[in-house]
Structure 1
């Protein structure tokens, strides 16, 4: 093999090495940088889209600010912060006056913490009796649920049991109960007892029991 062929083969090898090194050292980093830039641009575009949606929602809420404020005020009156008993007494007086009966008394007991109702687990179907197998029982892990900061629980929600006594016709009592359940203060009626009033023919003495609710500000923990 003459020297020209050797030089030709060497030139080809050197050229190949230069091309490979150019791809590895020059083009490939540029491609990786371009891919990273594309990924960053996608993230930025998604973030911008979220900001645009949030801005549109805020603009919509601002247009309905009066409606939202009225709704918030109604909710605050329905379940106030604290007992707000004077306002409740005024409401009961107005409702009794509107129905034409006489409000004879109201008894409020100490507030009780809200007790969430646990969901009822579905009853599994009864399986046929199988032979006894002597195996260790499987350990079922306890299921825990996270409590949201806005979730109603026994630290921020309380109920006041109360009884209201009125005197009037039976129809007036039913009207009064209906007004209680649809008034500005949330009132859950859970009992109604009536008895004929011997001193006033055609009237009944009624005792209405129920619950009103209030928000409780959690007490901050003290250090030490």
Structure 2
């Protein structure tokens, strides 16, 4: 091998080493960095997609916010965090004026701690009229004994307890016809303040001759007593304190007559 050829081989070998070294020292790190950048870009794009979806959800919720605030305000008026009985008396009087009844009295009890309703006993078990024993019974009524309907368990919520919920018993006396009393009952039960009527009694006034007033027309002066509950979203002690601040007793005005008034007495 001549000296020139040896120099050529050495030069080629050095060139190959330079190329390989340049690849590992220069090109390969750049390729690795580019691959890492692509992975980071994909991760960022995925995160951005998540953020865009969340922003779209929040924008949709924001559009519903005014309606949700109105609903929350209505619920607060329905079951307020204080007794606010005076506002309820005004509502009762407003309904009385629109239905034509005259409110003669409202009796309000002190707030009491909420007690979850207990499940009622189902009583006697249903009689199986198709059983062989019933069919062979000598009693003629054995097979015709009606079955006792199943008792539905009351619906309760574990978040509603005596520590955050209380009830106020209220009795309202109104005078008017049956139709007027029916309209009044519907009005107070569907008003802003939640009022659950659980009992209605009536008493017809008697005239001096012993006959019932207005009996000839069938629409005499009948007094109707509605008993039920309003509710407060606080414990009984706080509700009673707000009742005392509200005067303990309240007055309502018959808007229809614009003169007569009724007094709610604290029981």
Task: Kindly state the Cα deviation for residue 119 of structure 1 after the two structures are TM-superposed.
Answer: 5.6
Alignment of 1:130-141 (within 5 A): none
RMSD: 3.4
Task: Indicate how the Cα distance of structure 1 residues 74 and 192 shifts in structure 2: closer, same or farther if over 3 A, else same.
Answer: same
Task: Indicate how the Cα distance of structure 1 residues 82 and 53 shifts in structure 2: closer, same or farther if over 3 A, else same.
Answer: farther
Alignment: residue pair count: 154
Alignment of 1:139-178 (within 5 A): 151-178=159-186
Question: Out of 183, 189, 193, which is 1:185 matched to?
Answer: 193
Partner of 1:96: 96
Where does structure 2 lack aligned partners over 5 or more consecutive residues? 1-42, 126-156, 208-212, 215-219, 238-267
1:117 to 2:117 alignment? yes
> How far, CA to CA, are the matches of 1:217 and 1:114 in structure 2?
8
Give CA-to-partner distance per residue, 1:13-54, whole Å, 9 cap, x none. xxxxxxxxxxxxxxxxxxxxxxxxxxxx8xxx79x84x6665
Where does structure 1 lack aligned partners over 5 or more consecutive residues? 1-40, 126-146, 220-224
Task: Indicate how the Cα distance of structure 1 residues 118 and 187 shifts in structure 2: closer, same or farther if over 3 A, else same.
Answer: same
Q: Which has the higher contact order (CA 8 A, sep 6+)?
A: 2
| Secondary structure of the corresponding residue to residue 116 of structure 1 | coil
Task: Indicate how the Cα distance of structure 1 residues 121 and 205 shifts in structure 2: closer, same or farther if over 3 A, else same.
Answer: closer
4+ aligned runs moved over 6 Å, structure 1: 120-123
Query: TM-score normalised to the size of structure 1?
Result: 0.59
| Secondary structure of the corresponding residue to residue 172 of structure 1 | helix
